[in-house]
Amino acid sequence: MRTKKIKQAITSKEKTPEVKSGKFPIVGIGASAGGLEALELFLKNVPENTGMAYVVIQHLDPTQKGMLPELLQRIANMKVFQVEDLMKVRPDCVYVIPPNKTMSIFKGVLHLFEPVEAYETVKAWDLETNNIVWLAMAPANNTDVMLARPGFNSEFEVNTISELVDVINAGTSPTLKVAIRDEWYERADGWSRFKGTYGLNEDNVEVVFIGMGLEYDSLRESQVDISFGFATDGRIAAFGLDVVEDDQSNFAVYNPAPTIRKETLDIYPGLEELINGVSVLLTNEQLRELNQSVDVDGRSIDEVAREFLTANGFID
């Protein structure tokens, strides 16, 4: 029987290998939650002594213990570390961001932040480094969203996902069809995380795999009962789809924020109040309406934007 020794991943502040002082390249690798196979293939083929460091930033489930360092250590030729705050980067090592953290690097040292701190940290850094001012975040959150066919919420008397899962788990309703993209089904932060967050009994639903973008038409035509889309998609409003509230905050947060060069703001200081006034109006509902006008109704972006700004008193 052929065996292979598995190197132990380092998750504590163990001392990384000493190297000679000097500059060396740092390679940043980004991946979605479904990128494990690609990361493994890459690291398997990277030699042990390249003289470079590798920093992996993957979309991870914020509620679960990070297993990525252990998984990568099985195939990597270098030592794999789960990052801790103020960890110094060394060449010929792999550094993996932990769950529910944002991360930056400054002078060869990795810094971890809570998600709430990330906006203020980036805001301060971008001003100091690039002379760019970050303005107020919009209330819109273009994250994943649970959608249902028209009239579904009223039919089952539900508004939240928790209420819907109670109905499903009770087993008293007809088997509901749930349309899921293959990629989202396999992602660690996709279907499996969703079921865990809400305690869904998968035996009481029929999972239907569907291609990207087809979920909206399938819901409109009542071919399926439930699916998942993007919160600001114009087809939600255009097709009259029901939104089932993510009351357990299962989905990640993606709030947009406008930026402006400081020298421009210094010349036109009134722009900050003006732009922030626009930003505060950009809710999910408002963006769905605007996106519907462009993507579904076929109107030009310029026309829709001008109409919105005029209606809200920003331009004449």
**CATH of span 1-113:** 3.40.50.180
pTM above 0.85, yes or no: no
User: How many residues in total does the chain contain?
Assistant: 316
**CATH of span 144-244:** 3.40.190.120
- Give 175-191 pLDDT, tens digit per residue: 999 999 988 888 777 89
Selected residue with higher pLDDT from 102 and 199: 199
User: Which residues of the chain are in CATH 3.40.190.120 domains?
Assistant: 144-244
The reported pLDDT for the residue numbered 37 is 85
- pLDDT at residue 148 above 90? yes
Tokens read off for 61: 């489930």
Half-sphere exposure of 183 (CA within 13 A, CB side): 9
Selected residue with higher pLDDT from 16 and 23: 23
Give me the long-range contacts of 17-22 (CB less than 8 A, separation at least 24). 17/79, 17/90, 17/92, 17/93, 19/90, 19/91, 19/92
User: Which residues of the chain are in CATH 3.40.50.180 domains?
Assistant: 1-113
Would you say 63 and 99 are in contact if contact means Cβ atoms under 8 Å apart? Answer: yes
